[in-house]
Structure formats: structure tokens, C-alpha cells
Structure 1
Amino acid sequence: MIQHHPDDALLLGHAAGRLESGRALVVASHLELCAQCRERMRLFEAMGGAMLEDVAPAALPSQALAQTWAAIDAMAGSESPVSEPARPVGTRPDLPAGMAWPRALADCRASRWRWIAPGMRWSRVKLPYDPAANVFLLRIGAGKCLPVHTHSDNELTQVLHGSFHDGRVRLGPGDFDETDPSILHEPRVDAQGECICLATVRGKVLFQGAVARWMGALVGL
């Protein structure tokens, strides 16, 4: 059962289309699994629609319609008569048996699993519409832990497989977490099996210790 969810500010931002692309991707991955948050999203979207209905009409420039039709005609004229080839499926690293990729990542490319430390691997996720977004997957073995760290800004994490505890909360499949500079933690994967998470980071992950900082630099965190 999912215990931890995005707060209302994140869901409102997602409903309004205001979230940065990496953050929107992680929130969307949570929504796929969480009926409770999908229901809240429907409420926020309905509220947004009601607010739009109350907005006073605004006059458009006299040439607005003509300019719109001209733009549509220009787009139609640039289309090739040859049918568009099928879009190639993005590369993806292997996953444990029974685990499925979030639909939110369908158009994304993800690198093969790369070694960080014994029992720890990562994969860079590339968004086709925002190549600069800092999104990645972490795959940590049973009983392993990330070094103690905090954050210069903000991190969103969605648990896709397995579970871990960071000293303040336990997160299992489907759970969502948000951390900031006020949180110093050491996420440790449960002994029952490995854990895979999808995450996006603003700023930097601030590891304690020279070796841990080297690991962070290796991953680009």
C-alpha cells in the first residue's frame, strides 16, 4: 500500500503544467500507481476549469484569426507526403523479473546500468523534450546504503521496486519522497531485496566524505 505522496503544491503545479520537465516526469510516474493522487489531480483540474470559466473574456487583435490560419497553412505545407517512419523505442536497462517501466518514461532513453560502488548502479534518463533535465535511476542491492548526504536544493524520488529506510521514513513500491537542504539522511535498502528508484535533482547532492563526493561527481550529482 502506498503511504507517501506528493504534496498538494506539487500536484497543483503538475495539473497546471508548471512543473519542470524532470519533476513532472517523476510525479507522473507516481500518478500511474496511485489512485488517491489521481483523484486529487482530477479535483485540481476541475478547479482550474471552473476558474477559467470565471475569467472575463479578453478582446483579440483584429488579425488574430488570419494569423492563426496562416500558421496552420504553413505547417500543412511543410509536411512531407511520405509517411512518417515509426519512432524508435528508447534504449532501456534491464529490470528485475515482474517489474514494468513507468508509462511516463515511454519516450525517454535510459543508459545501461553503470557501476558506482559494489552493489550500486545508476542509469541516466534522457528526456527527448528536455535533454538538460537531471533525471536518473538508481539500483541499489539488498542491505546496501547510499552515503550520508543532504541537498543543495531539492530532490524528488519515486520508488519503482523494492524498499529502503533513510532514518526518518520507510519507502516502498509506489511511494514518493521529496527532500531539501534541511534533510541529512543515509538511505539503506531493506535486506529482502534490491531497490530501484527514479529521481530528479535540482542543484547538487551534497555527500559527506571524499570518496562519497567522488562517487557523486562520477554520476553527475
Structure 2
Amino acid sequence: MIRHHPDDSLLMAQAAGRLDSGSALVLATHAEHCEQCRERLRSFDVLGGVLLEQLEPTALAEDALSRALSAIDAPETPPPHRPTPLRRAALPEGRAWPRAMEGCAIGPWRWMAPGMRFSRVTLPWDLQANVILLRIGAGKLLARHTHSDSELTQVLHGSFHDGRALFSAGDFDATDDSILHQPAVEPGGECVCLAAVSGRLVFESRVARTFGSLIGI
């Protein structure tokens, strides 16, 4: 059962197309398996349509029609060929990649600490997006940290507790500089999370800060 969801401000920003690419990907991954949030998104889409209908009409430029017709008559440009992206990391057995991640290139699992690995996720439509996968072993915990900006996290497999609540597969978490926590994976098995990081994680430990800078978080 999914217990933790994005709040309405995030869902409204998603419906309006105002989220950055990384955050939009993580939220779409959550909505893929959450009927409650899909329904909220549909409601905000309808609300957006109503608001558009209530806007005051604006006069078109004098050449608007001719430019529209020229665009219609212009020859179609074939979309650029993109090779199938590599997915060098693998999820635990029985877990499939979310459909929202289709088109993303996924790097190999790389060591970041004993029992902890990470993988870089590349969005071809936004190469600057800072999106990572974290794979943390049972009973392991991340270094205590806060955030310089925001981090959106979707649990793909397993569960962790960070002192605020238990987050399990399907759950969504949003953190910022008001949150100081130390996620610890539950002893029953490893945990895999997809995260979009804006800014940096601010670790208390100097060693953790060094490793964080190496992997871009």
C-alpha cells in the first residue's frame, strides 16, 4: 500500500508543466503506480482547461494566419534517430523499469560505500538533469544530511526509515533544507530509489561530503 504521495503543489506544477525534467520524471514514476495521484493529476488538467477558457481573448498578430498556414504547408522534418539507450544497471529480480523511464540511459552500478551503489540516469531530453538511482543494502544507512535545495525520491524496491516515517516501494518523498535526516534501509532486504536532486546534499560528515561531491549529490 502506498502511504506517501506528492502534495498538491507538486501535482499542480506537474500538470502545468512547470517542474524541472528530473523532478517531473520522478513524479511521473510515482503516478505510474498510484491511482490516487493519477486522479489528482487528471483533476488539475481539467482545472487548467477551465482557467484557460476564462482568460480574456487576445488579438492575434496581423500575420498570424499566414504564418500558421506556412507552418502547415512546410515539409515534415523526420525526428532525429536515437539509438536505444543502454540500461547497464539491473533492478532486483522481479522488478521492471518504470515506463516513465523509457528513453533514459542508465549507467552501471558504481560503488559509493560498503553495501551502497549508485547509477547515473541520463535524460536525453535534458542532459543537465541530476537524476540518480541508489541501491542500498539491508541494514545500511546513508550519512546524516540535509539539502541545499530539494530532492524528490521514489522508492522502487524495498523500504527505508529516516526518523520521520517508513517509506516502502511505491512511496514518494520530498525533502529540502528544512529536513535533517539519515535514511536507514530496513533489515529485510535492499532498497532501490530513484532521486532527482536540485542543488546538493549537505552532509554533516567531511568524508560523506567528499563522496557526495564525487557522484554529484
TM-score (normalised: structure 2): 0.95
Superposition map of 1:114-133 within 5 A: 114-133=110-129
User: Partners in 2 of 1:79 and 1:213 — Cα distance?
Assistant: 45
* Corresponding position of 2:215: 219
- The alignment status of 1:135 with 2:131, answered yes or no, reads yes
Superposition map of 1:96-175 within 5 A: 96-175=92-171
- The alignment status of 1:90 with 2:85, answered yes or no, reads yes
* Corresponding position of 1:18: 18
Query: CA distance change for structure 1 residues 48 and 208 in 2, over 3 Å: closer, same or farther?
Result: same
Could you tell me which amino acid in structure 1 is paired with residue 55 of structure 2? V
User: Partners in 1 of 2:107 and 2:72 — Cα distance?
Assistant: 37
- The alignment status of 1:40 with 2:40, answered yes or no, reads yes
User: Partners in 1 of 2:78 and 2:154 — Cα distance?
Assistant: 39
Superposition map of 1:72-87 within 5 A: 72-76=72-76, 78-79=77-78, 87=82
Counting aligned pairs with the same residue, the percent is 59
TM-score (normalised: structure 1): 0.93
CA RMSD between the two structures:
1.5
User: Partners in 1 of 2:78 and 2:29 — Cα distance?
Assistant: 33
User: Partners in 2 of 1:97 and 1:154 — Cα distance?
Assistant: 31
Cα distance, 1:165 vs. partner? Answer: 0.2
User: Partners in 2 of 1:122 and 1:91 — Cα distance?
Assistant: 16
* Corresponding position of 1:66: 66
- The gaps in structure 1 that reach 5 residues or longer are none
* Corresponding position of 1:177: 173
> Which secondary structure does the structure 2 equivalent of 1:212 belong to?
helix
- The gaps in structure 2 that reach 5 residues or longer are none
Cα distance, 1:59 vs. partner? Answer: 1.6
